[in-house]
């Protein structure tokens, strides 16, 4: 992974024409934007499949004013990059699933949610991200959705919910959370069942892996 000095550096003859799912949406707003029922003129998230080289070209062109994200892409779907990812790490327990790639512009925001697959290690390869982690005890204050399409995910679509009047239980109720800015070479451990949100401060590459 130390070879990955930029998003451009992932582009090779082998990866250029691979189809990848790309999410396009407003900056610093989660894919759960519609769920809060508010009128929002910043656009909504859309998902399309495109060649990896076109995704890289879009980021480089600066033509897209929103955020763009290849998120949670199973590394098995992009075999040329798999050899660069040295997992499992020595002495770690078994992986619950193959590692995932997260490749995005600045200002992607993954809203508060919890994973179901196990403990999580999120490795930062390029750029920096702000990760907030909340223990399961804080669930009553996180506005977790009951809707099947948003299961395990908060209805709060922004990172600054602490200030927002519309989420009083969040602002007043949450007592325990941890926050870190992760940079290349850092990893954050997210215990199974703990809620977390992730905001990219810059163009970013991360790899995550769930452990049993």
Please tell me whether residue 105 binds ligand AKG under the rule CB under 6 A.
Answer: no
The 161-200 site mask, x for binding ligand AKG (CB under 6 A), equals -----------------------------------x-x--
Please identify which residue in 28, 105, 120, 154 interacts with ligand AKG, judged by CB under 6 A.
Answer: 120
Cβ-Cβ contacts under 8 Å for 66 (sequence gap 6 or more): 24, 25, 26, 27, 43
DSSP assignments along 30-43, one per residue: -TTGGGG-----S-
What pairing do the DSSP bridges indicate for beta strands 67-74 and 100-104?
antiparallel
CB of 122 to ligand AKG, least distance (A): 5
Instruction: Give 12 or 46: the residue with its C-beta nearer to ligand AKG.
Output: 46
Stretch that binds ligand AKG, among 80-88, 114-122, 157-165, 173-181 (CB under 6 A): 114-122
Query: What is the arrangement of strands in the sheet containing 67-74, beginning at the earlier edge strand?
Result: 46-51, 19-25, 67-74, 100-104, 204-211, 119-126, 187-190
CB of 19 to ligand AKG, least distance (A): 21
Please identify which residue in 28, 32, 105, 110 interacts with ligand AKG, judged by CB under 6 A.
Answer: 110
CA–CA dist 177, 135 (Å, integer): 7
Where do contacts with ligand AKG occur on this chain (CB under 6 A)?
Answer: 102, 108, 110, 115, 120, 122, 129, 196, 198, 206, 208
């Amino acid at each position: 992974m130390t070879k990955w000095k930029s998003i451009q550096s992932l582009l090779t003859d082998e990866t250029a024409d691979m189809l990848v799912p790309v999410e396009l949406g407003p900056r610093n707003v989660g894919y759960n934007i519609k769920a809060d029922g508010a009128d929002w003129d910043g656009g909504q998230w859309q998902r399309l499949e495109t060649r990896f080289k076109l995704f890289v070209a879009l980021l480089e062109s600066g033509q897209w004013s929103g955020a763009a994200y290849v998120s949670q892409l199973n590394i098995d779907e992009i075999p040329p990059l798999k050899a660069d990812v040295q997992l499992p790490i020595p002495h770690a327990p078994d992986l619950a699933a193959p590692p995932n790639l997260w490749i995005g512009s600045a200002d992607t925001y993954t809203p508060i949610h919890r994973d179901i697959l196990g403990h999580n290690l999120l490795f930062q390869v390029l750029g920096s991200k702000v990760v907030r982690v909340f223990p399961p005890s804080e669930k009553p204050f996180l506005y977790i959705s009951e809707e099947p399409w948003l299961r395990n995910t908060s209805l709060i679509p922004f990172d600054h919910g602490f200030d927002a009047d519309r989420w009083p239980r969040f602002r007043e109720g949450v007592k325990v959370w941890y926050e870190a800015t992760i940079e290349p070479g850092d990893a954050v451990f997210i215990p199974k069942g703990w809620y977390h949100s992730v905001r990219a401060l810059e163009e970013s590459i991360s790899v995550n892996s769930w452990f049993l």
